[in-house]
Amino acid sequence: MAKKATDIPTPVIRRLSRYLALMQYLCKKNMNWVSSQKVARHLGLTSVTVRQDLKYLDFTGVGKRGYDTTGLKSTLIKFFSADIDNSAIIVGAGHLGQALIQHKEFLTQGFKICAVCDVNPEIIGTKAGPLVVQSTDDLQDIVRENKIQIGIIAVPREEAQQVADQLILAGINGLLNLSPEHLASRRTVPVVDVRMIDSLRELVYKIKKTTGL
Amino acid sequence: MAKKATDIPTPVIRRLSRYLALMQYLCKKNMNWVSSQKVARHLGLTSVTVRQDLKYLDFTGVGKRGYDTTGLKSTLIKFFSADIDNSAIIVGAGHLGQALIQHKEFLTQGFKICAVCDVNPEIIGTKAGPLVVQSTDDLQDIVRENKIQIGIIAVPREEAQQVADQLILAGINGLLNLSPEHLASRRTVPVVDVRMIDSLRELVYKIKKTTGL
DNA sequence: TAGATTGTTAATCGATTAACAATC
DNA sequence: TAGATTGTTAATCGATTAACAATC
């Protein structure tokens, strides 16, 4: 597959996602038009960046008014398939996994948690929000039967790679990795990492810098 | 304050944090030496990037052996103050906030959750792990009395900015923002964002790209 | 010594910003 | 119309990679 017009840089993708969140907010407030400058101010960017980013979508603004918030929202929803209830499984029903199941924002943003599983026999069979915790042994069957697209890895670092391998074998389409482990085999299946500890350390460094040395 | 030698680009900082995690792992496994190439393979980078990054620290490798894992670990621990128990408060004792309190990795990585608070009167006074949930009304006193450095924002988007303002007023040194809201007043206090929904959307885009279209 | 690996300068690549013409 | 705002090309900035000398 050749490099397509759909090949958008990652930083742009992440900003497009933030534009979607902002459009949802502005639409709810009945603001019908927004300028690139206002978007920029809301999100801590420059107006040129915003206009450059929007060029990647087939969505154009209007002369002196700016962008139609409803139209841009719809375009971004389609772009991110945010109207489709992308199915996901959470592996690891510890505190973090449990919190994610209950997290309502996922559903409103187009993600549906269809299943949870864990290795701990003591919690298998118990309820976690609206779901029943299943055994990680059955992980592959669960993914296949429910045609789950996204695997969310919320297990300790030692188990992360093995879980990833199983999910990939079962035919998962992509992985969100909440563990600090770097997952191999990115070639076959895309992986996006959320590294909370690294974010905290980045913060510690920035604090040091601003408070002098 | 002029631009210092301590002015390290953010991508480098985040990788340095990952090197620390890797060194902790290698030390536990009693591997005393590691080459830049091995580090690169572990973390999905190139060996040149690793060597360039380590140049920012005052830590040099050895000819044909590579880097001393214990020494590098110590250097990175000092660099990130990871031996100091950086104090933090979690604002928002919902599912996510509760999960973070229980998360043991924070403590092993040098972060100590000293307090939690929430606005919901029904959960104020209840236990959350080893802590008692306090009222957000008392937030400023709690931060001042315990000299808390880091504020972790785990409230819904609508409350995020207000909570941030209070924390900054109380003299917090830095903020970790888990809400999707963009927080203003970055000039005074550094803010690092963890955007889980944006990460999921990034994943959806990458899945689309790899599965064709 | 020979070979592997570090350290460093220069080149490349990619993303952001500047400048300005086009448009409503 | 005049003014504000978009759209786009070119310039700048910063981060990664390539090349290779230095070192153990």
Contact B174/A at CB under 8 A: yes
pLDDT of residue B212: 75
Give me the residue label for tokens 């300028």.
A35
Instruction: Find the mean pLDDT for residues B12-19.
Output: 98
Total Cβ atoms within 10 A of residue A101: 22
Considering chain B, what is the average pLDDT of its residues? 94
Length of chain B: 213
Which bin fits A46, alpha (ψ -120 to 50), beta or left (φ > 0)? Answer: beta
Q: What's the pLDDT band for A3 if we cut at 50, 70, 90? A: very low
Total Cβ atoms within 10 A of residue A37: 15
| Chain A residue with minimum CA distance to B155 | A103
Which of B86, B96, B193 is closest, CB to CB, to A204? B86
Contact A150/B at CB under 8 A: yes
Within chain A, residue ranges assigned H as helices are 10-28, 36-43, 47-55, 69-79, 95-102, 104-108, 139-146, 157-169, 196-210
Q: ∠ CA A185-B103-B143 to the nearest 5 degrees?
A: 130
CA distances, A174 to each of A85, A89, A93, A170 (Å): 15, 11, 19, 11
Which chain B residues contact residue A1 at CB under 8 A? 212
Cβ atoms of residues A113 and A106 within 8 Å: yes
The span from the first CA to the last CA of chain A, in angstroms, equals: 49
CA distance linking residue A168 with residue B4, whole number of Å: 45
Cβ of B62 near strand C (under 7 Å)? The reply is yes
Instruction: Find the mean pLDDT for residues A34-41.
Output: 97
- Which nucleotides of chain C have an atom under 7 angstroms from any protein CB? 3-9, 14-19, 23-24
3-class secondary-structure state, position B36? helix
Q: pLDDT tens digits, residue range B121-155?
A: 999 999 999 999 999 999 999 999 999 999 999 99
CA distance linking residue B198 with residue B193, whole number of Å: 11
In angstroms, the CA of B174 and the C1' of D14 are apart by 25
Which of B102, B176, B201 is closest, CB to CB, to A95? B102
Instruction: Find the mean pLDDT for residues B39-47.
Output: 96
pLDDT of residue B186: 61
Give me the residue label for tokens 């118990």.
A126
* Cβ separation A202–B13 shorter than 8 A: yes
Measured over all CA atoms, what is the biggest interatomic distance in chain B, rounded to whole angstroms?
62
Element (H, E) at B210: helix B196-210
Question: Of the candidates A106, A84, A88, A108, which has an alpha carbon nearest to the alpha carbon of residue A153?
Answer: A88
Contact A119/B at CB under 8 A: no
Cβ of A199 near strand D (under 7 Å)? The reply is no
Does residue A187 surpass a pLDDT of 70?
no
Helix axes A157-169, A139-146, angle to 10 degrees: 40
Q: What's the pLDDT band for A211 if we cut at 50, 70, 90? A: confident
pLDDT of residue A1: 35
- Which residues, 6 or more positions from B186, have their beta carbon under 8 angstroms from its beta carbon? A44
Question: Of the candidates A1, A25, A204, A193, which has an alpha carbon nearest to the alpha carbon of residue B200?
Answer: A193
Cβ atoms of residues A112 and A93 within 8 Å: no
